[in-house]
Amino acid sequence: MTLVFPVPPITTSSAHGLTLLFAFCYVGSLYISKNARLSFAEKQTAAYNGKPRPKYSDERWRDDPDVIRARLVAVSIATSICCGIVFLLLRHFVGDRPDGFEMALDTTIARLGFRIYFDSDMIFPHLVTPVLFLGPLYAGYLGGHLPLQRNWSFKTDVISKFISWQGVRNYLMAPITEELVFRACVLAVYHMSGASTRRMIFLGPLSFGLAHVHHAWDTFNRYGGTAAAAKRAIIMSLFQLAYTALFGFHCSYLFLRTGSIFPSISAHIFCNIMGVPEIAWHLKVYPQRRKAILFMYVLGVVGFAYVLEPWTRTGGVLYWRDQKPGAGIGSY
């Protein structure tokens, strides 16, 4: 049985504080363990031709396998702690009921979106994000890089890319843990504070964007620790902040709309695989297909706007009202 509240059980300030706690727990876990922390030489060689400088043997960079392994353990523990905080919060609100533990556990599972559908609702929410990427997918088709095309290789594009520590981090653990913490946990506490759907969509992801700012220190050192490196780090951090915030808006909508964390995770994995759309590069590489590329990019945006609402309409959702008949538990 899922616990609902007739009035918000926590304040907006408490939700803000818990959100910051989640972000601090997740990012801070990367720096608690010595094995997970990065290290850079005091004297560094300046970057050349826009590429990172050479790595010294006594340094620890974020793509080193031992660093990745330590960080995967750290964020797994941090994610478990954040989910545990949501459970303890709900357990507190249940009170001394005989079935309090079971009710708190069921409510936590529901509020964190561990919900699997067994109809069309299980498929369509996962297809919304690929529609937005019709332009990049078409460019991949032109280059023969899509699965089973001439320039696609199972060994190179699957084994080498995914079956590696970087692949496990980028396409499995980072999407899962980040969505659980910055989507499920954050939106769960904002919902308990009585936040509106709009506020949850546009306010919740800000912590997700800010959590990526710490990469600026890594960029600054990898590019030589110079003034040019500082400028690059700032620009890249601002771009990443904007991109992750926009992406967060999208995943927050998916989570709130479907009541499931899995569409958000699949969207996160897909976007990490595709990367940032590079329309200028695609137009440069395939000038003879310029109109077709522009058309597919526009079609992707228009198609995304068209399917976003109907393909995410789901029944029995805790977070979203006015869904299918009989759906939407309107309480907190």
Query: Is 332 within 8 Å of 192 (Cβ atoms)?
Result: yes
Query: Is 312 within 8 Å of 104 (Cβ atoms)?
Result: no
Place 116 in a pLDDT band, splitting at 50, 70 and 90.
Answer: confident
Mean pLDDT of the region 62-72: 95
Least confident of 222-236, 244-258, 312-326: 312-326
Q: Is 7 helix (H, G, I), strand (E, B) or coil?
A: coil
Structure tokens at 67: 């660093």
Q: Is the pLDDT of residue 212 over 90?
A: no
Average pLDDT, the chain: 90
Scanning the structure block, which residue is given the tokens 């994610």? 79
Least confident of 209-213, 225-229, 264-268, 275-279: 209-213
What pLDDT score was predicted for residue 210?
A: 81
Mean pLDDT of the region 46-54: 81
Pick 286 or 99 by higher pLDDT. 286
What pLDDT score was predicted for residue 97?
A: 80
Please state, in angstroms and as integers, the Cα–Cα distance from residue 181 to each residue in 23, 39, 80, 83, following that order.
Answer: 8, 26, 9, 7
Mean pLDDT of the region 105-134: 88
Q: What is the pTM of this model?
A: 0.92
Round to whole Å and give the CA distance between 178 and 174.
6
Q: Is 150 helix (H, G, I), strand (E, B) or coil?
A: coil
The contacts found for 138-141 with CB under 8 angstroms, 24 or more apart, are: 138/292, 138/293, 138/296, 139/282, 139/285, 139/286, 139/293, 139/296
What pLDDT score was predicted for residue 122?
A: 80
Round to whole Å and give the CA distance between 110 and 66.
35
**With pLDDT > 90 as the criterion, what percentage of the chain qualifies?**
66
Least confident of 82-91, 221-230, 264-273: 221-230
Q: Which DSSP symbol is given to 288? A: G
Mean pLDDT of the region 198-214: 86
Least confident of 102-116, 122-136, 245-259: 102-116
DSSP secondary structure string for all residues of 306-327? HHHHHHT--SS-SS-SS-STT-
Mean pLDDT of the region 254-283: 95
Round to whole Å and give the CA distance between 71 and 80.
14
What pLDDT score was predicted for residue 329?
A: 37
